[in-house]
């Protein structure tokens, strides 16, 4: 039936997405510069004045992780 939501499938997809906690790093602009944030954590791992420096730090923290630049 089109449009019907299967709760079991949604629960599995959300659980899978939640299990990636810490594997992705986000580079986000803030008041003090560019923040390097591990996904799922509230606080930044580092704050750099230049975006390029933030990306360099992110690569050191998680060399094999995904880096998202915002």
Task: Give the model's pLDDT for residue 65.
Answer: 87
Q: Are 66 and 22 in contact (CB under 8 A)?
A: no
Q: Encode pLDDT of 1-34 as tens digits.
A: 455 666 777 666 665 555 555 589 999 999 999 9
pLDDT band at 53 (very low <50, low <70, confident <90, very high): very high
Q: How many residues does the chain have?
A: 70
What is each CA distance from 25 to 4, 8, 66, in whole angstroms? 34, 29, 6
Model-wide pTM > 0.85:
no
């Amino acid at each position: 039936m089109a449009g019907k939501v299967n709760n079991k499938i949604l629960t599995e997809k959300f659980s899978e997405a939640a299990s990636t906690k810490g594997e992705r790093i986000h580079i986000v602009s803030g008041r003090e510069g560019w923040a390097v944030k591990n996904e799922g954590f509230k606080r930044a791992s580092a704050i750099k004045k230049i975006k390029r420096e933030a990306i360099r730090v992110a690569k050191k923290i998680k060399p094999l992780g995904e880096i998202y630049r915002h």
